[in-house]
Copies of this chain bind each other. A is one copy, B any other.
């Protein structure tokens, strides 16, 4: 039997990379042969977690090939997935996002739950399979939960995420508050990043109505870091729209200490953005108080607004 390639989404974030590692380990522990892969290099937050618990970054793959067996983690939509996946066979999906652009010819294992982090579901899968979670894997998994829920402060966070985080912290022997802030801050070292990096480090594309919308997100402890680079970022977003065919580009800068965001907005449909959030755009920028979750607080209202245009 060929090895199952376990892959997260493009522009991988901490949950995506760690889900590949933790789910591949579970598959290997239950008699299957699996290997974590990634669609890009780990970001600094992810690298911090991998280094802390003694893991290497997963091998980067660029495309899927005929005959490949794929397990998708932390995503399902085709445009977020490995190029060429239509040539491969998807044997399972573990995810916590909406379902779209996903179609198979045969039945498969699909496990999605509306929780804050894919690793919370993977934690349950270990329990259901009766497989012990190794100490260092538990450390990775709790890092993913901290990352996706912003230390349990995101509105995406559920009691199941809290429970999983607590059990994993006991297994890993980690103080969640101390380690968690160190982890989140490791991802906010923006000074060393190019403007291109900021746009791409955590960006996803979404079909909404008849538009393709690109939404990037950058965590920071000081939004002035973004404001100082605003004009260059706006110019680059416009160029990217032209080159990649995006109709609308939003870049969210999320203050992880204050739990607010602002968004830079470039492209068609600024009135839909204003309708979605009930906030006015000024100088191609909109304040989004209390918004930290792209999935829960940005994609649904913007989808609705663009479908009603």
Q: Which residues of A contact B (CB under 8 A)?
A: 96-114, 128, 295-296, 299-300, 303-304
Taking chain A's interface residues, is the majority helix, strand, or loop, or is none over half, making it mixed? Answer: loop
Residues of B near A98 (CB, < 8 A) are: 103-108
Q: Decide if B107 touches A303 in the complex (CB within 8 Å).
A: no
With A110-B110, A111-B111 already in contact, the answer to whether A300 and B99 are too (CB < 8 A) is no
Residues of B near A96 (CB, < 8 A) are: 107
Interface centre among A98, A100, A107, A304, by most chain B C-beta atoms within 10 angstroms, is A107
Q: Decide if A99 touches B104 in the complex (CB within 8 Å).
A: yes
Taking A98-B108, A106-B114, A106-B296 as known contacts, 8 extra A-B pairs with beta carbons closer than 8 A to each other, sorted by chain A number, are A96-B107, A97-B107, A99-B102, A107-B114, A108-B112, A110-B111, A110-B113, A111-B111
Residues of B near A300 (CB, < 8 A) are: 105-106
Residues of B near A113 (CB, < 8 A) are: 107, 109-110
Residues of B near A304 (CB, < 8 A) are: 105
Which A-B residue pairs are the 3 nearest by beta carbons? A110-B112, A107-B114, A100-B103
Q: Which residue of B lies closest to A207 (CB)?
A: B103
Q: Decide if B103 touches A99 in the complex (CB within 8 Å).
A: yes
Residues of B near A128 (CB, < 8 A) are: 128
Residues of B near A97 (CB, < 8 A) are: 107
State the Cβ distance, A205 to closest chain B Cβ, in Å.
Answer: 15
Residues of B near A105 (CB, < 8 A) are: 98, 299-300, 303-304
Which one, B99, B101, B296, contacts A110 given CB within 8 A?
B99
Complex-state Cα separation, A111 to B99, whole angstroms: 12
User: 27 interchain pairs (CB within 8 A)?
Assistant: A96-B107, A98-B104, A98-B105, A98-B108, A99-B102, A99-B103, A99-B108, A99-B110, A100-B103, A100-B104, A102-B102, A105-B300, A105-B303, A105-B304, A106-B114, A106-B296, A107-B112, A107-B113, A107-B295, A108-B114, A109-B113, A110-B110, A110-B111, A110-B112, A110-B113, A111-B112, A128-B128
Complex-state Cα separation, A128 to B129, whole angstroms: 11
State the Cβ distance, A126 to closest chain B Cβ, in Å.
Answer: 13
State the Cβ distance, A272 to closest chain B Cβ, in Å.
Answer: 15
Q: Decide if A112 touches B109 in the complex (CB within 8 Å).
A: yes
State the Cβ distance, A96 to closest chain B Cβ, in Å.
Answer: 6
Residues of B near A295 (CB, < 8 A) are: 107
Residues of B near A299 (CB, < 8 A) are: 105
